[in-house]
Structure 1
Amino acid sequence: MTTFLENFNIPIGSVDIDFFNPILEKDTPFYIDSYYLTWSPNKYVQTALETQKVFMTELMEALKNKDENKAIELCSHFPEPKFTGLGVSKDSVNGRGSKDIKVDKILTCLKSSKAAQSGLLEDLEELILVTENIGADTISDITTNICLKHFADYTKEQCLKLGIQTSETQKSFGYFCLIDKKWKKIKLDLPHVPWGKDKIVGPVILIPLQILDKMISYNSNYLFTNIATPLYKQEAIKKYPSASFIYSLKSNGEKRVRVKDLRKQYPEYRGGKNKMDELIADNPKLLKEYKEKVAKSRYLKRKGNDS
């Protein structure tokens, strides 16, 4: 297997890099964690974060105002990225052979979400918490597309440092313009390498390692376990004080809940994105609580493991 650096005869370990060094013959199962953008000191990542927030503001306003034409236009520019080496494809590289992220799929998911339709969501990664069929891979790919120009600028800077030649791409790529708040196309100045088993030459986008992870910090199961379940316990104690799943500690008499029994007897306390969507729609403050209690904790843990 050949890496990006090895292709240019740069031995791994001979240079200090802060980007993911893609394997050219196969994809590597990493995702962009959009929440990690918040913590990066990298100037290109900071601008990417700003761009992503502007995109989300435009999309949430379109959904709240039921401006379907604008929502369709905003979500019509998410091709499967084929130039980062990130993903989960086993027999190909850069998502080759997989489908683009269809606009109807995205909009169907968003229209079924009360939180999205209410315009409550502020950050792209929050879509994972409440929207069916949108997961880490989709958010990662959408982030790549929205912030493509910033990652391309970062790539060019890294190549200049390493003495790697770049050239203009044959085709134009779409990116979301931070200033004009709309999608535009541009040809990019990027390094080119032979991708895949067939050695098809194509461009490379380098992604900073600090915003990548195998499991991203936003997950509806994390929301259910860490935010929703404590609320459900409190509610159950008040509503069903004499239920068999309620018990008291001998030490101080504190009421506790046998969660499995609670969920078995009352299905409304079970998980699922639909339930989490309703919970967020009724309690918007829980998004901030999730960010502070769960996402931040996972990021700091990951950062500690990297140290």
Structure 2
Amino acid sequence: MDFVDVDVSTDTKLFVSPRAFTLLHSEWADSCVSSIQNFFGTVLALIKEDKGDEAERLLLELREPNETHLGNSRGKSRGRALGEGSAHDVWEALSQSQAAKSGLINDLEDTVLLIMGIGVDIVSDITTNIVRSQLIAYTQEQCRQLDIPLEQGIESGPIWNSVAKRWETKSVELPLTSKGKLLLVPKAIVRRTSAYDLNEYYRHYMLEFLIEEEKRAGEPPRDCRRPFGLNYAAMGVSSSMA
């Protein structure tokens, strides 16, 4: 079985890893990477343009992807993505950071440190929200291969439109369980432990946007393989991952 076999009555303690997409060599994974880069590039660009309200509205959609049944929740699956307070905290941290205002890599340290308080389960939920469209397509493909019934007219939940740069909701086909709609998640993109955090978003997603901004600003290129000022040992991340 290519996907995680979950218990729909609770959450399986597995987490979607943003880094995992960069290690896969497939059009599907590349599409996921592109969506994540596009979303965070859009948020950072809005903040830089003093459009903080718009950036915060985008962050507010990163919430409760219950349909995967993955994460830390105990008992009834309930999801833990960015609530209104957390979304505002992230927006505020990004808004006040010099990195967002200048777009320069050498100003990014404070941003990374300010948002690192978000836990591994929240990172997983954020990732799931942004790649929901790809997960829906994956779920449909797996269900058709395995003759799992699909129900029509299911509300998709927020889907990130990389062209329009906005969240949309669609009517889609998904399997239904006694607990509601179900999204299947490939085993290849989940991890059992928190061997990553928002540091991964910096290195693989925010970094591309900031490098381009630095080039446009005429700054010399830098060695950006490690986020600045991070204590990898304390975070439990090996030096080989940096």
The DSSP-based 3-state class of the residue aligned with 2:90 is helix
Q: In the alignment, does 2:32 pair up with 1:48?
A: yes
2:154 and 2:171 in contact (8 A); partners too? yes
Aligned to 1:230: none
TM-score (ref. length: structure 1) = 0.59
Q: Give aligned pairs, total.
A: 209
Aligned to 1:19: 3
Q: In the alignment, does 2:183 pair up with 1:205?
A: yes
**Code of the aligned partner of 2:134:** H
Between the aligned partners of 2:238 and 2:97, the Cα distance in structure 1 is 21
Aligned to 1:173: 157
Q: In the TM superposition, what whole-angstrom CA distance separates every residue of 1:243-298 from its partner, at most 9, and x where no partner exists? A: xxxxxxxxxxxxxxxxxxxxxxxxxxxxxxxxxxxxxxxxx9564235xx968944
Between the aligned partners of 1:77 and 1:108, the Cα distance in structure 2 is 16
The 5 A counterparts of 1:1-307 are 17-95=1-79, 101-102=83-84, 103-120=87-104, 130-195=114-179, 202-219=180-197, 285=222, 287-289=224-226, 297-298=240-241
Task: Pick the structure with greater CA Rg.
Answer: 1
Between the aligned partners of 1:211 and 1:58, the Cα distance in structure 2 is 24
Q: In the TM superposition, what whole-angstrom CA distance separates every residue of 1:190-248 from its partner, at most 9, and x where no partner exists? A: 111123xxxxxx111111111111224434899xxxxxxxxxxxxxxxxxxxxxxxxxx
Provide the alpha-carbon RMSD of the alignment.
Answer: 3.2
**Code of the aligned partner of 2:185:** I
Distance 1:137 1:99, change over 3 A: closer
Structure 1: stretches of 5+ with no match in the other structure: 1-16, 122-126, 196-201, 223-283, 300-307
Structure 2: stretches of 5+ with no match in the other structure: 106-110, 201-220
Q: In the TM superposition, what whole-angstrom CA distance separates every residue of 1:110-148 from its partner, at most 9, and x where no partner exists? A: 235444454357xxxxx7655153222222111111111
The DSSP-based 3-state class of the residue aligned with 1:41 is coil
Higher relative contact order (CA 8 A, sep 6+): 2
Distance 1:23 1:298, change over 3 A: farther
